[in-house]
Amino acid sequence: MDTTSHIVIGLGLGALAQIDPVVSSSSLSYAVVLGTVIGSNAPDADCVFKLKGKGSYFRNHRGWSHSLLALPLWGLAVSAIIHPFFAESSFLHLFMWSFLAVVLHVGFDLFNVYGTQAARPLSSKWISFDSIPLVDPFILLLHVIGFVCIPFFDPGVVFLLVYLGVFIHILYRTLYAAQIKTHIEKYYPDAHRIKVIPQADLLKWDFLVETDEEFLFGTYRATEMKLEHTFPKTNLVNILIEQSKKEKDIADFLYSTEFAHPFVREGKHGTYVMWKDLRFRKDKSYFPYHSIMYLSHDGQILTNTDKIYSYKKYRTTLRMLESKAIGKGTRLDKEYLQTS
């Protein structure tokens, strides 16, 4: 989920915590609201990896910070920071609610298409249940209704009902996603992989199908499938594709997704190898998540890894790489080119 959603959920958990008599009857009430808001955002502290570059952020976001091992540590850290300002309050109850906020942060992230590496340290596999969009309007609406009701009803009871509604909503979406995938499998029995991608509209879902020869993209609405875009698989036996995997930015990007695919394009003064994350698609055939290597004719290499929001910005990025290549970048190993 996005930061705004996590903040809203943190406030909602602070209201739910009023159902705890130890919280509602003391100054701990204020401490817990702080704990749930901060705890609901704590795992995203991995944004500090942006300081090392976007590639490093892609590699580390939702990794160890969202792992089983990190969950209690985040809860303890948040509680330890807040408790000294409310020394008379119960550390145990502050920890319990802060920890719950951290757990729900990771839980919500597990149910969108990006997923997390929640099973660390047992497994580094990315886990996603493909049930809710990164921003879910219905979940936010339930919280808004809950906040409006707080002046008139017990906040703990109100948000107990809100989170019951959220649970039913996510359960329904999860079962519906499984049904959609089963339906698509009947049309593409030889597919290697099928990825169902939730949208804000409950009845509209995107899907990605990978076969031996091609990738197919479409939408699913009320049992009706519409194919919107296809492209043949790129020949992966390419020296430049292999070279691109050795570039740190691109290696980091590839670590973050199992659905990246390379495209090789000749430019006026060099060649682009463009890795695109096929899970995220807009305007039928545009993929905003990219990691690009540019190799100029004189052997200069530059890379760019980022979410590029529009096709116009994408073209600007390609021109920028080309214009900066002369006299910059890292020289490609000529011997490697000759012997591979």
pLDDT at residue 333 tops 50: no
pLDDT band at 326 (very low <50, low <70, confident <90, very high): low
Structure confidence by residue, pLDDT tens digits, 251-304: 999 999 999 999 998 888 889 999 999 999 988 889 999 999 999 888 888 999
Task: Report yes or no on 86 lying in a domain.
Answer: yes
Same domain, 192 and 83: no
- Total count of domains within the chain: 3
Same domain, 169 and 192: no
Share of the chain above pLDDT 70, in %: 95
Structure confidence by residue, pLDDT tens digits, 267-279: 888 899 999 999 9
Same domain, 134 and 222: no
Q: What is the reported pLDDT for 329? A: 44
Same domain, 203 and 303: no
Let me know the angle formed at the C-alpha of 195 by 190 and 197, rounded to the nearest 5 degrees.
150
Q: Which residues contact 278 (CB under 8 A, 6 or more apart)?
A: 195, 208, 215, 217, 259, 260, 261, 287
Same domain, 246 and 141: no
Domain-terminating residue out of 173, 208, 224: 173
Supply the range of the domain harboring residue 84. Answer: 3-173
* The two structure tokens encoding residue 312: 């116009």
Same domain, 63 and 97: yes
pLDDT band at 335 (very low <50, low <70, confident <90, very high): very low
Task: Report yes or no on 304 lying in a domain.
Answer: yes
Task: Report yes or no on 178 lying in a domain.
Answer: no
Q: What is the reported pLDDT for 97? A: 96
Task: Report yes or no on 252 lying in a domain.
Answer: yes
Same domain, 66 and 141: yes
Stretch 204-223: mean pLDDT = 92
Same domain, 45 and 192: no
Same domain, 155 and 52: yes
Task: Report yes or no on 179 lying in a domain.
Answer: no
Q: Is 202 left (phi over 0), alpha (psi -120 to 50) or beta?
A: alpha
pLDDT band at 142 (very low <50, low <70, confident <90, very high): very high
Task: Report yes or no on 297 lying in a domain.
Answer: yes
Q: What is the reported pLDDT for 283? A: 85
Same domain, 64 and 150: yes
Domain-terminating residue out of 125, 145, 173: 173
Same domain, 12 and 53: yes
Same domain, 163 and 278: no
The region of weakest confidence among 33-37, 88-92, 201-205, 312-316 is 88-92
Task: Report yes or no on 326 lying in a domain.
Answer: yes
Task: Report yes or no on 209 lying in a domain.
Answer: yes
- Backbone CA torsion sign across 251, 253, 258, 259: negative
Q: What is the reported pLDDT for 327? A: 54
Q: Which residues contact 288 (CB under 8 A, 6 or more apart)?
A: 280, 282, 307, 308, 309, 310
Domain-terminating residue out of 173, 197, 214: 173
Q: Tell me the CB-side half-sphere exposure of residue 71, using CA atoms within 13 A.
A: 19
Stretch 96-110: mean pLDDT = 96
